[in-house]
Structure 1
């Protein structure tokens, strides 16, 4: 195989986010290991061989979404190798993609949200602050754990976080949209010394483990990503324009943001025509 590192360097030159590049690295190394097992030269690969690879992934109990993601990485890799004149065609057919129905993620109800806030208040200060920041900014868990003290600032009295090297290059400056969460985060961050170390001293895996513990204790369908959906949906319910929500979340398209907010609790009170008191309901 053409050096994976050379391709990943190409992605870096294109401005791909660090996490995206690492995902490509992981998937392409797995693909290379499969090729070694098959003793199959890269130049001799045909669509039927990639079909075998797809079936191998499914037999390994990979989800349909994960399989699609891996095949997409491999397809993009072959596109690059065509440009580099290492191969002459791309054996990864788009027909290999599995049709997956979109997930419908319900936001946390107010009572569930209160339960969650109560739970994280019992955790160490750095963990409590990290979860409050996710809830009040909609940032991804990896974006939160990558923040350093220098990524926090005040603008016109409001607390902001500066996210760099984000997925899809979605670098952005986000205000903390909850006064209570802003106070908790500011109190924690103000006591930190300026350094290149993660402000919250924890990994995404640590926060995900706490999220799993909360789900197990309460029976609430919960993950760190639910906080991102909840943030977006609550903003839409409050009348924030979906284009602004898209910017805050760092989405590539409005369709993606619409997917995040599809289960907003809608009220039609202001647009429903009013009946006179004497009119009879049919």
Structure 2
């Protein structure tokens, strides 16, 4: 039998509903119970494999429409769906990283087989690596979130949820790591060991209480000059609570701004012509260790210790509860504050109280608590407010 006759013979024997496009077999078939034809790729150029795929799809659809049986889907399919549906989420890259960490332990498990027992090897591996329970819980939380969506929200073309019931994913309780309050001597020892570009950024941070990426992405075109001083109006795209807020550097931070003003056209802090990506670099780690600062728990807090130090110094200097909230950029939606020029001046004076000569004698208590209680002291009491809005009447 020649090739042409073989091709015709095989074409006559193929299952109805299969058509070939290029080298791939595609399904185009009407099925009872479906409002529209089933049209999808089999993903193969092999006719026999394509026919097996078609037979399974017909069986799955019949079981779903007649017997109410759900299609068996893998957790990987659900993870892909979650990522595709949440491209708008600002922290999606964090979810993706957490999924990348846990997926080698889930592999090709179906949704029904992902539960505490199947995740136990992952938890053990993370603990053996020395990761905190908080970090492990955050990685398990995205798994739990996907399983809950599969059981409650996601439905197939037959109206059935992807998963009948979401299994309970246990997140063990743990004690969060405490931030570390730097004394003036520790701050000096740490910053002296940092390269100049990093020392400047960290000195600015400890004198205005910004979050790490607020420092790294700080732009000159956000600067507002008020009474001869620099303020920065941070856009909601950058802030943690997605609300515009004002950053109020004190005198020490103003000195840093004068030093870096002409180093980059766009970004306040840069290195070799590019903006800083993060502050907790290898240079930061080495300087922290060389300064004799606590390592086991504190080094992972990174530069958040600087923000915490600033907040503690404000409280020690007697800055009011409301002013501390505003300076740290917290919000709870309870009110909206419109800042007048007088209020801006008040915040500038409050921020300046965190400078060394103003607060040094008052920090003895913080040092004692760090030493005696193993840094078990509580963070400054900072309630939240709704976002900060600056009156545009400010004279630029």
Pairwise CA RMSD: 3.3
Is 1:209 aligned to residue 285 of structure 2? no
Instruction: Extract unaligned runs of 5+ from structure 2.
Output: 1-75, 156-161, 333-376, 382-396
Q: 1:224 to 1:164 in 2, by over 3 A?
A: same
Note the C-alpha offset of 1:47.
Answer: 3.8
**The residue matched to 2:224 in structure 1 has which SS?**
strand
1:198–1:220: structure 2 CA closer, same or farther, 3 Å change rule? closer
CA distance in 2, matches of 1:68, 1:230: 27
Residue 185 (structure 1) aligns with: 257
Q: CA deviation at 1:179?
A: 0.7
Matches within 5 A, 1:96-175: 96-120=170-194, 123-124=195-196, 126-161=197-232, 162=234, 164-166=236-238, 168-175=240-247
Aligned match for 2:119, one of 50, 61, 65: 50
Does structure 1 conserve the Cα–Cα contact (< 8 Å) formed by 2:106 and 2:119?
A: no
Q: Secondary structure at the match of 1:153?
A: strand
Which residue pairs with 2:136 in the alignment? 67
When residues 136 and 12 of structure 1 are mapped into structure 2, their CA distance, relative to the original with a 3 A threshold, is: farther
Whether 1:35 aligns to 2:106 is: yes
Render the CA deviation track for 1:182-208: whole Å, top value 9, x for unaligned: 12124313442237x97453322x643
SS of the residue 1:160 aligns to: strand
What are the residue-to-residue correspondences of 1:234-253 with 2, within 5 Å? 234-251=313-330
Greater fraction of residues in helix: 1
| CA shift for structure 1 position 167 | 6.4
Number of residues of Structure 1 aligned to a counterpart in Structure 2: 246
**CA distance in structure 2 between the partners assigned to 1:209 and 1:3 by the alignment:** 37
Give the deviation of 1:119 after TM superposition. 4.2
Moved more, 74-83 or 4-13: 4-13
Query: Which TM-score applies when normalising by structure 1?
Result: 0.71
Alpha-carbon spacing, 1:183–1:145, altered in 2? closer, same or farther (3 Å)? same
Distance 2:226 2:179 in 1: 33
Closer, same or farther: CA 92–142 of 1 in aligned 2, 3 Å: farther
Match of residue 292, structure 2, among 208, 219, 222: 219
Matched, 1:84 2:154: yes
**TM-score, length basis structure 2:** 0.53
Instruction: Indicate the SS of the match to 2:307.
Output: helix
Q: Which has the higher contact order (CA 8 A, sep 6+)?
A: 1
Unpaired segments of 5 or more residues in structure 1? 263-282
What residue in structure 2 maps to residue 26 of structure 1?
97
Q: Distance in 1 between matches of 2:204 and 2:252?
A: 10
For the pair shown, the structure with the greater C-alpha radius of gyration is: 2
Deviation at 1:245, TM superposition (A): 3.1
Conserved 8 A contact 1:64-1:98: yes
Shift of 1:231: 0.9
Task: Tell me if the contact between 1:149 and 1:192 (Cα under 8 Å) persists in the aligned partners.
Answer: no
